[in-house]
Chains A and B, each alone.
Chain A
């Protein structure tokens, strides 16, 4: 795990992803300094919109990069001769990656909210803490990263993992969603139910699944991606 953490803190890509997220969530607040709106919803919508979009994009990028870049640069051979127990190697990378991503999401969400609150207060607008919504946004990003990570182990490519995750969101999800009795068990629907339940808005928005069914469905989906990735990673020649 020490080596995986060292890779994250010394390589350019993860530092760049973290910087984009942290700086990105500050940009709406910086822009609003000049526009001086007085409605608090403007600040929260601008911040959450940016955080939600950026975090999911960075999640896909980071999740695919984490293992896919080792294949791209041929360093997977070095990784697996240093730690020949492949599931352990994959697990260490995943745990360190998830921890780092959760940390960066927490820092960026907190900074983004603090900036929105500060700029709002300059214009007499109160920006309330939206912890539940931010947890939902963060969870969405983590799910996207997990899918990309699993796909990178299956495809042995960062590019295919990222494109595959986006294709899943934009193409497969809508197709599955229109199939009766199946559509409500998609990863997107399960995630939607979980996030609106965390935000306490399930009654308001309406969901196709109960929260407990949604949690089980989401866990099953993620387990399927990770198990498929782990099986392929463990068995295939490098």
Chain B
């Protein structure tokens, strides 16, 4: 669907996107992750022909940037870049009708009804878009992107500024798009959110690729050696003393349990045995979960 190879965009001496390479496979949701200023929007704009790359190649729906076919390919892509580009004086229905005309689609009120229902705006479809809440505008922006039944949609921070309920709605919507035959490339700086919505993730920092793959693939290199041990509160002090005697690093966490860092060669079973030898039985013992956020900080921290 999308192939990016060595894509670079420089503004003077500063590189907004630096030799970026990644693929977006068909029928999946690919998340483009990174903090503000990582180059996500610039990368997406280059895929849509809104920004000229300084060097590198970008291929969208089989057409390479700079070729005559590229313009036709972009017309088959639905996009929401930065904020929803709405004609705020027009209703949602008219915004959709306008977009259909811009794409040369035949008049199809049923399709407009279908999209309004998809983004839960049926009841407000005739209201001015300017009177909508931010969440409603974001949803309408997605509907506008979807009007031409695109093979690919590129959504830049679609959950930006939304409340938790709005974020969940957008996530559900994103998960439904591949079922309709649409591949999704979505960017966000909210790592945990995109982790939940995406099949694959491309992580950027300062314009550079940090990692790409499935969440599991990315997290596999960042597994924690720490264990969280839940104990009876009366046994915390004894357990801490006993574990330290075994030269283990122990720290109490805020939830009243212990975080134990295991040295190489130790497993959870070994830890459990040490506690049992002291007559202490854990109510729960589990390896600490590594979040994408923690992995991201580790990856970018290593670069810094």
Given A7-B87, A10-B90: A81 in contact with B101 (beta carbons within 8 A): no
Q: Is B89 an interface residue (CB 8 A)?
A: yes
Given A75-B85, A237-B45: A6 in contact with B71 (beta carbons within 8 A): no
Within 8 Å CB of B82, what residues of A?
74, 77
Q: Indicate if the CB atoms of B50 and A6 lie closer than 8 Å.
A: no
Distance in angstroms between the alpha carbons of A6 and B85 in the assembled complex: 17
Give 8 closest A-B pairs by Cβ, nearest first: A82-B102, A3-B102, A78-B85, A84-B71, A3-B101, A237-B51, A238-B50, A84-B74
Q: Indicate if the CB atoms of B89 and A238 lie closer than 8 Å.
A: no
Q: Indicate if the CB atoms of A77 and B101 lie closer than 8 Å.
A: no
Q: Indicate if the CB atoms of A2 and B101 lie closer than 8 Å.
A: yes
Q: Which of A10, A75, A77 contacts B50 (CB 8 A)?
A: A77
Q: Could you say which of B92-100, B157-165, B216-224, B241-249 contacts chain A?
A: B92-100
Given A3-B102, A77-B85, A238-B45: A82 in contact with B50 (beta carbons within 8 A): no
18 contacts between A and B (CB under 8 A): A2-B104, A6-B98, A6-B101, A76-B85, A77-B50, A78-B85, A81-B79, A82-B102, A82-B103, A83-B102, A84-B70, A84-B75, A85-B71, A235-B52, A237-B51, A237-B52, A238-B45, A238-B51
- Which chain A residue lies CB-closest to B42? A237
Q: Is B88 an interface residue (CB 8 A)?
A: yes
- Which chain B residue lies CB-closest to A238? B50
Q: Is B194 an interface residue (CB 8 A)?
A: no
Q: Which of B60-74 contact A (CB under 8 A)?
A: 70-71, 74
Distance in angstroms between the alpha carbons of A7 and B85 in the assembled complex: 14
How far does the Cβ of B98 sit from chain A's closest Cβ, in whole Å?
5
Distance in angstroms between the alpha carbons of A167 and B97 in the assembled complex: 38
How big is the A interface, by class?
20 to 34
Distance in angstroms between the alpha carbons of A37 and B79 in the assembled complex: 62
Which A residues are closer than 8 A to B by beta carbons?
2-3, 6-7, 10-13, 73-85, 235, 237-238
- Which chain A residue lies CB-closest to B85? A78
Q: Indicate if the CB atoms of A80 and B49 lie closer than 8 Å.
A: yes
How far does the Cβ of B109 sit from chain A's closest Cβ, in whole Å?
15
Distance in angstroms between the alpha carbons of A84 and B85 in the assembled complex: 16
Q: Is B238 an interface residue (CB 8 A)?
A: no
Q: Is B48 an interface residue (CB 8 A)?
A: yes
Which B residues are closer than 8 A to A by beta carbons?
45, 48-52, 70-71, 74-75, 77, 79, 81-83, 85-90, 94, 97-99, 101-104, 144
Distance in angstroms between the alpha carbons of A235 and B49 in the assembled complex: 11
Distance in angstroms between the alpha carbons of A81 and B51 in the assembled complex: 11
Q: Indicate if the CB atoms of B85 and A73 lie closer than 8 Å.
A: yes
Interface majority SS on A: helix, strand, loop or mixed? helix
Within 8 Å CB of A76, what residues of B?
85
Given A75-B87, A78-B144: A10 in contact with B94 (beta carbons within 8 A): yes
How far does the Cβ of A65 sit from chain B's closest Cβ, in whole Å?
12
Q: Indicate if the CB atoms of B74 and A10 lie closer than 8 Å.
A: no
- Which chain A residue lies CB-closest to B71? A84
Most buried by A among B52, B70, B74, B83: B74
Q: Indicate if the CB atoms of A11 and B51 lie closer than 8 Å.
A: no
Question: A73-B85, A76-B85, A81-B79 provided; 13 other pairs, C-beta below 8 A?
Answer: A3-B101, A11-B90, A73-B86, A75-B85, A75-B87, A77-B79, A80-B49, A82-B75, A82-B102, A83-B102, A237-B45, A238-B45, A238-B51
Most buried by B among A75, A79, A84: A84
Distance in angstroms between the alpha carbons of A77 and B87 in the assembled complex: 12
Q: Which of A11, A74, A85, A235 contacts B85 (CB 8 A)?
A: A74
Distance in angstroms between the alpha carbons of A12 and B89 in the assembled complex: 7
How far does the Cβ of A194 sit from chain B's closest Cβ, in whole Å?
36
How far does the Cβ of B199 sit from chain A's closest Cβ, in whole Å?
24
Distance in angstroms between the alpha carbons of A81 and B104 in the assembled complex: 13
Q: Indicate if the CB atoms of B85 and A82 lie closer than 8 Å.
A: no
Distance in angstroms between the alpha carbons of A73 and B101 in the assembled complex: 19
How far does the Cβ of A109 sit from chain B's closest Cβ, in whole Å?
28
Within 8 Å CB of A81, what residues of B?
48-50, 74-75, 77, 79, 81
Within 8 Å CB of A11, what residues of B?
87, 89-90
Within 8 Å CB of B97, what residues of A?
6
Q: Indicate if the CB atoms of A78 and B70 lie closer than 8 Å.
A: no
Within 8 Å CB of A75, what residues of B?
85-87
Distance in angstroms between the alpha carbons of A93 and B11 in the assembled complex: 30
How far does the Cβ of A105 sit from chain B's closest Cβ, in whole Å?
24
Within 8 Å CB of B49, what residues of A?
80-81, 84
Distance in angstroms between the alpha carbons of A237 and B49 in the assembled complex: 9
- Which chain B residue lies CB-closest to A11? B89
Distance in angstroms between the alpha carbons of A130 and B250 in the assembled complex: 96
- Which chain B residue lies CB-closest to A7? B98
Distance in angstroms between the alpha carbons of A74 and B81 in the assembled complex: 9
Distance in angstroms between the alpha carbons of A2 and B105 in the assembled complex: 11
Most buried by A among B70, B71, B82, B144: B71
